[in-house]
């Protein structure tokens, strides 16, 4: 599978990947496969940013889409959009040529 990945709010991982967006070729067909590939291939910056500082999942978001924690739950602080719209669940089937934008959701007041 070949997709383009754009990162918003991931400076350490972005520095490691270089181009923005970056073309990624990985074995698999789902968003979860891509995120696991990023974690395996790019080590600590991807692991810490996608799984959290302790490597475990944070509480699951209500219907949101994001990175998988150790227990397979979605990280509520990360949203993944396909082709600029449509938040994706981890089991979403990807297509060659998709542009996936990983966004860190920031809230506060």
HEC secondary structure over 58-88: CCCCCCCCCCECCCCCECCCEEEEECCEEEC
Minimal CA–CA distance to 40: which of 52, 50, 53, 29? 50
Domains of the chain, each with CATH number or no CATH: 2-104 (3.10.20.30)
User: Across residues 1-22, what is the average pLDDT?
Assistant: 89
Identify whether the C-beta of residue 7 lies closer than 8 Å to the C-beta of residue 26: no
pLDDT of residue 57: 37
pLDDT digits (tens, 9 = 90+) for 56-95: 433 333 334 445 555 555 577 888 999 999 899 889 999 9
Q: What is the pTM of this model?
A: 0.76
Whether the upstream peptide bond of residue 81 has omega within 30° of 0, thus cis, is: no
Extended strands (E) in 1-109: 2-8, 22-25, 78-82, 85-87, 99-104
Residue 45, token pair as written in the block: 């910056």
Beta bridge partners of 24: 3
């Amino acid at each position: 599978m070949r997709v383009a990945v754009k990162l918003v709010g991931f400076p350490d991982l972005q520095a490691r990947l270089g181009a923005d967006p970056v073309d990624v070729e990985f074995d698999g067909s789902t968003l979860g496969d891509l995120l696991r590939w990023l974690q395996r291939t790019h080590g600590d910056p991807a692991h810490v940013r996608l799984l959290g500082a302790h490597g475990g999942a944070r509480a699951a978001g209500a219907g949101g889409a994001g990175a998988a924690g150790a227990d397979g739950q979605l990280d509520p602080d990360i949203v993944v959009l396909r082709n600029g719209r449509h938040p994706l669940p981890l089991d979403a089937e990807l297509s060659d040529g998709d542009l996936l934008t990983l966004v860190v959701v920031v809230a506060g007041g």
